[in-house]
Amino acid sequence: MTTNTTTPPEAVIPPDDARRKLTMANPEDPNMRHISVAGGTYTILVTGEQTGGRYSLIDMLVPPGGGPPLHRHDFEEMFTILEGEIELTFRGEAQRSRYAFSACARQRGRRSSSWRSATRLVAVPRRHLS
């Protein structure tokens, strides 16, 4: 049996950028941007500008049985289900989970699969939502 004794290279942490600020999201803020998508209400909690172009964070309230039809993106999405149930369809297979990562360019859909609304947080690359 051979043992690998190679030490991985150390990650280089970039220097602190004093221009970057701590971003606090308050979904109750009346100035938050809300958009209607596929019958749900999406609240933009953190924009790409606030994260130095890294990602956006969206709070999605999906009504019972609601959600977008099967679709594709050219970017990834990460989901965290905070309340209710969401059924994610990926490559034709429906699954349920509290956490999910969806690869780009793959057909997918999602819907609230419970009798009540579902709330989820979704992180997407910044270039898609500012």
List of domains in the chain: 33-128 (2.60.120.10)
- Is the separation of the CB atoms in 91 and 106 below 8 Å? yes
39 pLDDT more than 80: yes
What 3-state DSSP class applies to 76? coil
Give residue-wise pLDDT tens across range 66-114. 888 887 878 788 888 888 888 888 888 888 878 777 776 555 566 656 6
Tell me what pLDDT residue 106 has.
56
Spatial separation of the C-alpha atoms in residues 73 and 85, rounded to whole Å: 22
More confident residue, 5 or 75: 75
pLDDT classification of 13: cutoffs 50, 70, 90: confident
Tell me what pLDDT residue 128 has.
52
